[in-house]
Amino acid sequence: MILSGADFLKPFTQEQLNAFSLLSLRLFGRIAGIFIGFYGLATIIRGYLVYRSGYLPRILGILFIVGGAGFVVENAFVVLAPAYATPLLLFLMAPAGVAMLFWLLARGVDVEKWRSSVVRTVTPMTPHEA
C-alpha cells in the first residue's frame, strides 16, 4: 500500500516511502514477536492443563510446556539479547504438535474417563439444595 503510487502519497519522495516501508516491515516483526511471546504463555498453560487432565498422556502436556517455553525464551532473547535470538527455538513446538496429531488420530481422548468426569460434575440437585 505504501509503495502503490496512490495520489495521497505524491507529497513524499521515493526515499521517504522506502524508509516508511522498511519501518512498517520492522514494526510488523516486533509485533509478531510480542504475539509469539503471548502464544508461548498460552501454550505453556495448555500443556499444564493437558498434563493435569488425565484425558491425554502426560508426555503430551510436557511437550507442549517445552514448546511454549521455546516461544517465550525466543521472545526474551529478541528483547534482552538480540545477538542470541534464533528462530530455531520455535521448532521445539514441532514434536508437541506432531505427537498430539498422531495421538488424536490413533487413540483420541479417554472417553470412559471423560464420561465419568461429566457424570461426577453434573449431578442433579435435590429440592432442598436448590
C-alpha 66/C-alpha 91 separation (Å) is: 10
Long-range Cβ contacts of 87-91 (<8 Å, 24+ apart): 90/36
Name 62's Cβ contacts closer than 8 Å, sequence gap at least 6: 47, 51
Q: Which of 31, 30, 33 is nearest to 73 (CA)?
A: 33
The pTM is what? 0.72
Give the model's pLDDT for residue 87. 84
Q: What helix, strand, coil percent values describe the chain, rounded to 5?
A: 75, 0, 25
C-alpha 77/C-alpha 74 separation (Å) is: 5
pLDDT band at 70 (very low <50, low <70, confident <90, very high): very high
The answer to whether the beta carbons of residues 93 and 67 sit under 8 Å apart is yes
Residues 18-32 have pLDDT tens digits of: 888 888 888 888 888
128 pLDDT more than 60:
yes
Which has more pLDDT, 97 or 85? 97
C-alpha 14/C-alpha 124 separation (Å) is: 71
Copy the grid coordinates of residue 107: 487413540
C-alpha 49/C-alpha 44 separation (Å) is: 9
Cell 461426577 identifies what position?
120
108 pLDDT more than 90:
no
| C-alpha 2 chain-centroid distance | 30
120 pLDDT more than 70:
no
